Chains A and B, each alone.
Chain A
Amino acid sequence: MTAPSILLVEDDVSLRMLTARALRENGYAVRTAATGAEMWVMLEAEPAELVVLDIMLPGANGIELFRKLRRQSEVPIIFASARGSEEDRVLGLELGADDYIAKPYSARELIARIGAVLRRGGGEGATKGDERTSEVHFEGWTLSLSRRELRSPSGAMVDLTGAEFDLLATFVSHRQRVLGRERLIELSRTRLGDSSDRSIDVLVSRLRRKLSASGGEPPIVTVRGVGYMFKAEVRRG
């Protein structure tokens, strides 16, 4: 398997080099560009599997550059911003960014995001269209994997802790299968690394409470002595 190729567009020389080095150390093939113009040259020479784009680039307005890139290519984009504002994040995601990351970010954080976006985009072989929004529906609920958001059947945003989100994401991708506690910890490893069996039970009960808050039956059932099962119908896209 060849290393995924990433194009990093960042105007700060040192940050560009540091980021590129961190990404290479984690097994990515990285090319860098300092401006929007350089980015176009690079992309024409050879397509990339993912672009990390600094929105505050000098020269072309970052938003404009982003729009143009989105029009011309389906390449997944991670938006990096030195503003870290909520408006930037919302705007970026609305424009079709696959993820948003605020500076300063750690190498671990960036690599996790890149990994998640690449898995979503390429893992199941469908890289086009709606798949980018990566939404999962069950019993009227909507789980957005890219935005890490859960919406109730009435459309209300329902807060989840990071661990709860990861656990729910694990459940929906393994529906109708009985999962033991250890297996759940393993599958949700990004956030549940140090979770105990007991804390899995706590997380499941919280999830159940949230998923039944608007009156319905919780879709997670206990299989005595074994673990849990997500029994609801799941629709993607």
Chain B
Amino acid sequence: MRRQNRLGFRRLGLTERLLAILLLVAAVDFLANTYLFDSATTTAVQRDDAARIGELLALAARAVSREVPARRTEAARALATRHFELEWKPSAAPGELRSPDPALATRILAAGPELAAEGQRLIVRHTHGSRDVTGIVVLADGSALGFRTYAGEISLQLSFWQILPMLLPTLLLGALAWLMFRATMRSLQTLVKALRHIETPSPGGLPEQGPDEVRRLIRAFNQMQRRIQRQQAERTQSMLAIGHDLRTPLARLQLRLDGAALEEETRAELEHDIGEMRHLLESLQAFVEAGGTQIPPQRIDIAIMAATLVDSAADQGLDARYDGPDSFEIMARAVSIRRAMSNLIDNALHYAGNVRVTLARAGDAVEIRVEDDGPGIPQDRLEEVFQPFFRLDTARTRDTPGMGLGLSIVQAAVKLEGGTLTLHNKSRADGAGTGLAAIIRLPLPAGAKPA
């Protein structure tokens, strides 16, 4: 789709373009060479022909001139060969004097200069497209010696078999160029791939490979990536620092509130505000921790964990349900996985008001589906919601808690376990209403027993 232009044709890639340029150059080069070779050969042939014609004609003219007119016809016939016909006439026919080829005449005269001496005149006609050269030598006494011969035989032999060996290197060159172009473009393709997955950069950057320009591009890209990573790290660090610095005054505020004489309602409101700030700090902390933790995985019962989270929500009077086995043990980091599931459940309850968690083994993985019957996420924003600090409700509505880190935390936690997180909008068979399904897949060690 993206590679179509307005006319609907598939747009050419850089490799194809380069190859097309090469082939065009080769074709022009070939044509030019062929033409030059052809004309050079033709000229050489014509020169040879002219010399031959000149010498023979000069000899014939001299021999015929020496004879008396009565014997000239006989003499001319005696001198003729199969490839060089000669005929003497008492006078030149007017038609034979028309449409001469002076260039060929000049070349012939160069070989037999006496043809134009002592009152003689040479008129040559070379019919284009034919091999025949005809003409007459008007002798000193006005009689005419007509001749007919061939020319340009070799030039016409510049045939397919001559063209093929000339074309062969071009074809080989084309094939070689294709391979080299592809090799050259590979580094560029690696770069393109890396650009697409910029959120998971390789630690050492991309290897600088390929031609100079591509190398420079990769270097610039690596530098940019390092800058982005550094900025992200700095941003994270400064947020953490702010978080740390906020915790102490917040603790003071909490304790002051505990000791203050306040109406119960005011106290509850203030408690709620502090709780919200605390929650923000916790989610920030979780986001930073999910990115990389020193804590090793441990054996946990993921089914009980999911059921417990659902029970806690149900205990608060919320519409939460768990379907799955009573027990399913896996190796994972308890805190981050619990937080991941809890975030998904909280999201569902917040946006849809209900949640259904199912857990089942799926091949070499355990699949945890967190589904709701809410409005889902607009299809074109399904990618965006994983971005840290992204909020679907752009107008920072007051009822959505958190910093837009929820799904980033889930994704980081799941990635830490080598698992995947996918989101998709459900569409029911009857088309009535939709909902969001968030699916966590965590790999099981090989040979894990089915639950």
Contact = CB atoms under 8 A, between A and B. Distances in A.
A106 B250 CA distance: 10
Interface of B: 244, 247-248, 250-256, 258-259, 274, 278, 281-282, 285, 289, 293-295, 298-301, 303-305, 308-309, 311-312, 315, 326-327, 329, 334-336, 338
Contacts of A157: 298-301, 334
A38 interface: no
Interface of A: 12, 14-15, 18-19, 21-22, 25, 56, 82-87, 90, 102-108, 152, 154-161, 163-164, 199, 206, 209-210, 212-214
Contacts of B282: 84
B258 A85 contact: no
Given A159-B301, A159-B304, A87 B293 contact: yes
Contacts of B281: 84
Contact of B301 (A15, A82, A84, A156): A156
A83 B281 CA distance: 9
A131 B393 CA distance: 51
Contact of B251 (A15, A25, A161, A209): A15
Contact of B259 (A21, A158, A213): A21
B254 A105 contact: yes
A103 B250 CA distance: 8
For the residues of B in contact with A, the DSSP-based class is helix
B248 A12 contact: yes
Give the residue among A106, A155, A160 with the most B Cβ atoms within 10 A. Answer: A106
Nearest to A161: B312
Nearest to B293: A87
Contact of B252 (A15, A90, A164): A15
Contacts of B285: 83-85
Nearest to B325: A213
B342 to A, nearest CB: 11
A206 B310 CA distance: 12
A18 B251 CA distance: 9
A19 B255 CA distance: 7
A87 B338 contact: no
B308 A107 contact: no
A86 B335 contact: yes
B248 A82 contact: yes
Contacts of B315: 161, 163, 199
Given A21-B255, A107-B259, 16 more contacts: A15-B251, A15-B252, A15-B255, A18-B255, A18-B256, A83-B244, A83-B247, A84-B282, A86-B335, A87-B289, A87-B294, A157-B300, A159-B304, A159-B309, A163-B315, A213-B304
Contacts of A18: 252, 255-256, 259
B273 to A, nearest CB: 12
A108 B258 CA distance: 8
A22 B311 CA distance: 34
B244 A56 contact: yes
Give the residue among B259, B278, B309, B329 with the most A Cβ atoms within 10 A. Answer: B329
B258 A158 contact: no
28 contacts: A15-B252, A18-B259, A25-B259, A56-B244, A82-B251, A84-B282, A85-B285, A86-B289, A86-B293, A87-B289, A87-B295, A90-B295, A102-B247, A103-B248, A104-B253, A104-B278, A105-B254, A106-B258, A107-B255, A152-B329, A154-B329, A156-B299, A156-B300, A156-B329, A157-B299, A159-B338, A160-B308, A210-B326
